[in-house]
Amino acid sequence: MGDERKSLQGAQEKKQLSLSQLQRLRKAFPLDRPLTRLLLKFDNMLWEYRLGINSRGESFSTAESDSIPYSTIPYRMIMKILRHLALEPSDVFVDIGCGKGRVLCCASRFRIRQVVGVEIDQDLCTAARHNTERVRGRQSPVSITHAAAQECDYRAGTVYYLFCPFGAATLNQVLARIRQSLQGEPRRIRIVYVNPMAEPLLERSGWLQMKDRWQMGNKFGLIHDVSFWQAARA
Ligand SMILES: C[S@@+](CC[C@H](N)C(=O)[O-])C[C@H]1O[C@@H](n2cnc3c(N)ncnc32)[C@H](O)[C@@H]1O
């Protein structure tokens, strides 16, 4: 009886050992990541074809030292964010550092008051204008401003989207401008921060409250963390 129990215990230990070995192997060779990347690439190509735009590619230089060069996120992730926001007809969606306008094109497919892009790089501005003028299924007006985000007037916006466009120094100035805009124009505003590298600034702001936070990898297509913020009327 004792021998039988010992051999059963031995077999269970062997099984556990092989399972943990498998887990270690999976960590060392994450087979799902290349597959995920491939699926997202294919999905992005389908979206670009469907919308009739070209927002692919990356930049490797920036206009200012605190700026982050152009890159974008998968359509799947953008659409998840936009649906989560449940945009209303009165909303004005502002992409601060809009690049080639991928997010603007997606937001313009919702029926809202206006979609606004701010971009410091002239060539990216031209690409964003080209894309937003021809995007299929546009339901809302789009305007694009070639300017430095820290010098813009934010009074019209209700939802501000930031995919890590710059570092903490510029973000600080932009947040101050958004806050200032509430004094002249009291309203409910929301901020979406993708890849929130300078998140402590928002946490310590004293006027913004985090409403939600998504961790990368928790949903298919989520390649960065995202935090959602809200400010009450001034
Ligand atoms: C990471 S990309 C995000 C692009 C776009 N929002 C998207 O998600 O597809 C950051 C963009 O911010 C722009 N940018 C950087 N600093 C800026 C500034 N001070 N004012 C306006 N745009 C800026 C860059 O040129 C770049 O296009």
Amino acid at site 71: S
Tokens in use for 193?
């921060």
Contact criterion met (CB below 8 Å) for 87 and 76: no
In 3D, which of 161, 180, 149 has the Cα closest to residue 227?
161
Does 70 contact ligand 1 (Cβ within 6 A)? yes
Atom 11, ligand 1: which residue's CA is nearest?
97
Contact 225, 196 (CB under 8 A): yes
pLDDT of residue 149: 98
CA nearest ligand 1 atom 6, residue:
98
Per-position DSSP letters for 13-71, written without gaps between them: HHHHHHHHHHHHHHHHS-THHHHHHHHHHHHHHHHHHHHT----------SSTTB----
**127: CB partners within 8 A, 6+ apart:** 54, 55, 99, 100, 101
> Domain-by-domain residue ranges, the chain?
1-30, 50-231
Q: Whose CA is nearest to atom 2 of ligand 1?
A: 70
Question: What is the reported pLDDT for 1?
Answer: 45
CB of 149 within 6 A of ligand 1: the answer is: yes
Residue with tokens 């600080």: 172
By DSSP bridging, strand 226-231 and strand 209-214 are antiparallel
Atom of ligand 1 nearest to the CA of 148: 20
Strand partners, 119: 146
Q: For ligand 1, what atom is nearest to the CA of residue 62? A: 25
Single pTM value for the model: 0.87
CA separation (Å) from 103 to 46, 72, 214? Answer: 16, 8, 18
Give yes or no for residue 195 CB within 6 A of ligand 1. no
Q: Identify the DSSP state of 166.
A: B
pLDDT tens for the chain, residues 1 to 234 = 455 555 555 555 545 556 665 555 555 545 567 888 899 999 999 999 999 999 998 887 777 889 999 999 999 999 999 999 999 999 999 999 999 999 999 999 999 999 999 999 999 999 999 999 999 999 999 999 999 999 999 999 999 999 999 999 999 999 999 999 999 899 999 999 999 999 999 999 999 999 999 999 878 889 999 999 999 665
CATH of domain 50-231: 3.40.50.150
Give the per-residue pLDDT at 7: 55
Predicted local confidence at residue 63, as pLDDT = 72
Among 170, 151, 161, 165, CA closest to 104? 161
